[in-house]
Amino acid sequence: MKCFIIAAGKGTRLSSKGDSKPLIPLLGLALIERVILTAKKSGLTDFYVVTGYNGEKVKRFLDGFNQSRDINITHITNEEWEKGNGISVLKAKKLLNENFILLMGDHIFDESILVRLTNERIADDEVMLAVDYNIETNKLVDVDDVTKVLVEEDRISDIGKNINNYNAYDTGIFLCSLAIFSAIKESVHDDDSSISGGIRILAGKGKAKIFDIKDEYWIDVDDEKAFKKAENTLFDTLKKTSDGPISRYLNRPISTRITRYLLRTDITPNQVSFFSFILAMLGAFLFFLGGYITLVIGAILAQVASVIDGCDGEIARLKFQVTEFGGWFDAVLDRYADAFLLLGLTYYVCFTKCDFFTLFIGFLAIIGAFMNSYTADKYDGLMKRKLGPGKYYFRMGRDVRIFIILLGALINQPLLILVTIALLTNTENIRRIVVLYKNG
């Protein structure tokens, strides 16, 4: 399915952040870039972008973006960009000859909305608008500026920014048949050159269907206040249901602050993964040297590495650089770092007392940590299926193990660290086996 994106406006209210609204960077990516990559992630591959104000600059950017991301983008020019956005839609009439997705170049949204919307069906004379019924709870919306929708019996009966009777918001995400062109043309004839005017024409004929986005997020990045909300919303999406308690309440709040600065650079997720690994290995090396000071410094380095280890995934998700290799590479480095940290602690204990018990506990800690990571995939998959998306569940993972190392080092109890990790990890592994067995 083709995707048509409107990026023709001037964006006066965001002019302080750039002279071309589609190119204003939002957490490392231009607005138009983020919209296209979100749509691509949902399965769309063929893009048509209409530009107007500063159009040549936007086109040059998209040409470079097209090559770097291997995306097919067709340019459309709207010299009448100062008129309503419906004119921008009409400029694509000769190029679009089948149902298509229509998006706004300054709307940020959850890709799952498009995944579900593209599976919907409409007749040849219908359009479908994704609407948000959360008019009482959605704090991302500027009520004075948002386009409002009155829905009756799953059809739009009225739409506009100034209507008094409404029960939903227009998200700016459409599934359109070719009927949208004739409807907008009729609306322009009636002195309304907006997309809403065309939808109103179709609504009068009972041809404007709705699609409920439920609790998924969307935001019109139209001014600086909305821009800040968009940043915060995107950072909120980084929270994972599989985050352990340390990751959720300590590491993640710190790592997202670091990520905010790293997004302004060309640093890649894999480079961050490797840097985190180097820090952890330095910490392990200090354990081998012996002495309380080196123990504490090594543990601090391990904890810092644990925090930074969250940045690689955050950058990858925010910049759409997630790869299977990246996830695997990060996991491999983590296992090596874990092994050397625990081996270093075992060696540290052997400075004063080296017997079979110490070596055995060190072995149990290492094998427990490894199996803890190995069993996580199946366990996480089961929990997500049982609880549903967005639901947190108990998880004892790497974040807890590293934090135990830090606490134990501060009180100079390396053997206690090994005993605690050995008990917790192996007990957790047994618990997961039982849970998975009971659930088939």
Q: What CATH fold (topology level) applies to the domain 238-438?
A: Four Helix Bundle (Hemerythrin (Met), subunit A) (1.20.120)
Four-way CATH pick for 2-232: 3.20.20.70, 1.20.1540.10, 3.90.550.10, 3.40.640.10: 3.90.550.10
Could you tell me the two tokens for 430?
């047994």
Amino acid at 404: I
Model pTM above 0.85: yes
Measured CA to CA, the distance from residue 280 to residue 370 in angstroms comes to: 16
Which residues are registered as beta bridge partners of 54? Answer: 52
Residue ranges matching CATH 3.90.550.10 in the chain: 2-232
Exposure of 89 by Cβ count < 10 A (0-12 exposed, 13-18 middle, 19+ buried)? buried
Residue ranges matching CATH 1.20.120.1760 in the chain: 238-438
Contact present, 322 and 330 (Cβ < 8 Å): no
Over its length of 440 residues, how does the chain's per-residue pLDDT go in tens digits? 899 999 998 888 888 898 899 999 999 999 999 999 999 999 998 999 999 999 999 999 999 998 888 899 999 999 999 999 999 999 999 999 999 999 999 999 999 999 999 999 999 999 999 999 999 999 999 999 999 999 999 899 999 999 999 999 999 999 999 999 999 999 999 999 999 999 999 999 999 999 999 999 999 999 999 999 999 999 998 988 778 889 999 999 999 999 999 999 999 999 999 999 999 999 999 999 989 999 999 999 999 999 999 999 999 999 999 999 999 999 999 999 999 999 999 999 998 888 899 999 999 999 999 999 999 888 888 888 887 766 777 778 899 999 999 999 999 999 999 999 999 999 999 999 999 999 88
Please report, to the nearest 10 degrees, the dihedral formed by the alpha carbons of residues 97, 102, 104, 107 taken in order.
-150
